[in-house]
Amino acid sequence: MKIVINAAMTADGKIATRNGNSAISSKTDLRRVHQLRKSVDAIMVGISTVLIDDPQLTVRFGAASSRPPTRIVVDSTGRIPSSSKLLKKADEFSTIVATSNRISFDNIRRIESTGAKVLVAGQKKVELRKVFRVLEQMGYKRILVEGGGELNWSVLKLGIVDQLVITISPRIVGGRFATTLVEGEGCNRISEGMPLKLRNVKRHANGEIILFYEL
Ligand SMILES: NC(=O)c1ccc[n+]([C@@H]2O[C@H](COP(=O)([O-])OP(=O)(O)OC[C@H]3O[C@@H](n4cnc5c(N)ncnc54)[C@H](OP(=O)(O)O)[C@@H]3O)[C@@H](O)[C@H]2O)c1
């Protein structure tokens, strides 16, 4: 299985402003992201991203696909709202809520009634290694992780990410509490950081730079 993380950040490393606005990529970059979405079997996000952005996780921007990727939400208690765009279209687009044993039977019933599947893995948080293993058994070969920062950290920590693609927007938004590319517990020392191999760099006319790393 191949796992790719894609994210857009400002020049100061934020993937959203202090109040959660994350419209960072230009139209040109969004076209690239949607081509990438078209090439994968599933797109995964964390529940905070769903609660803040209410994404559709579909393939658009001229990249429409006859076999749309499955949308996966990592949500340990099943708090994804029934009114979210993901659940509202779960009868049309394959949708999985990866959750933990903390989910209630009511939430399982509520989520499944929309057409979404519930995948239980883990006690407190979602055990991502198990989720990826099950997805592999289900035949998924390419997974795109689209954040946010907490999920990016957890997936990177597993040591199974193949590629990290970062768009750097020529903007600074600051904010002590603005979400950065990778959150989580973090490392104590720089030398403990995960090493990246820079494989390619692209530049859009608007000053955006796209970095393609392998791990
Ligand atoms: N610019 C971009 O490319 C981009 C992309 C995506 C998101 N964003 C922004 O990022 C922000 C949200 O990011 P975030 O870091 O706050 O949250 P997040 O990564 O979207 O979601 C984190 C939540 O997922 C749940 N979770 C369950 N198991 C987990 C596990 N093993 N590892 C990690 N998370 C797990 C936890 O909530 P429970 O305990 O309730 O399960 C956790 O708090 C939003 O402002 C959004 O706009 C930006």
- For the stretch 158-193, pLDDT in tens is 999 999 999 999 999 999 999 999 999 999 999 999
What is the 91 CA–ligand 1 centroid distance (Å)? 24
The pLDDT score that the predictor gives to residue 208 is 98
pLDDT band at 63 (very low <50, low <70, confident <90, very high): confident
The span from the CA of 203 to the CA of 215, in Å, is 21
pTM listed for this prediction: 0.98
pLDDT band at 62 (very low <50, low <70, confident <90, very high): confident
SS3 of residue 88 by DSSP: helix
The span from the CA of 28 to the CA of 170, in Å, is 14
Q: Omega of the bond prior to 193 within 30 degrees of 0, cis? A: no
What is the 18 CA–ligand 1 centroid distance (Å)? 14
126-134 mean pLDDT: 98
45-49 mean pLDDT: 98
Question: Is 66's pLDDT higher than 90?
Answer: no
Q: Contacts by 47-52 with C-beta closer than 8 Å and gap 24+? A: 47/73, 47/74, 47/75, 47/76, 47/79, 47/80, 48/148, 48/150, 49/146, 49/147, 49/148, 49/151, 50/75, 50/80, 50/84, 50/86, 51/79, 51/81, 52/16, 52/20, 52/22
| End-to-end C-alpha distance for the chain, whole angstroms | 14
Q: Which CATH number fits domain 2-214: 3.40.50.300, 3.40.50.2000, 3.40.50.510, 3.40.430.10?
A: 3.40.430.10
Across the chain, what does the average pLDDT equal? Answer: 97
Is residue 135 within 6 Å of ligand 1 at its C-beta?
no
The pLDDT score that the predictor gives to residue 41 is 98
User: CB burial class (10 A; 0-12, 13-18, 19+) of residue 63?
Assistant: middle
Residues 6+ apart with CB under 8 A from 95: 70, 71, 72, 73, 86, 87, 89, 114, 115, 116, 117
- For the stretch 97-124, pLDDT in tens is 999 999 999 999 999 999 999 999 999 9
The pLDDT score that the predictor gives to residue 65 is 82
Is residue 52 within 6 Å of ligand 1 at its C-beta?
yes
28-56 mean pLDDT: 98
Question: Is 82's pLDDT higher than 90?
Answer: yes
Per-domain residue ranges of the chain: 2-214
SS3 of residue 143 by DSSP: strand
Which pair of tokens denotes residue 78? 């099943």
The pLDDT score that the predictor gives to residue 83 is 98
- For the stretch 196-208, pLDDT in tens is 999 999 999 999 9
Is residue 173 within 6 Å of ligand 1 at its C-beta?
no
The pLDDT score that the predictor gives to residue 64 is 83
- For the stretch 140-164, pLDDT in tens is 999 999 999 999 999 999 999 999 9
Is residue 107 within 6 Å of ligand 1 at its C-beta?
no
Question: Is 68's pLDDT higher than 90?
Answer: yes
Asked if 60 and 83 touch (Cβ cutoff 8 Å), the reply is no
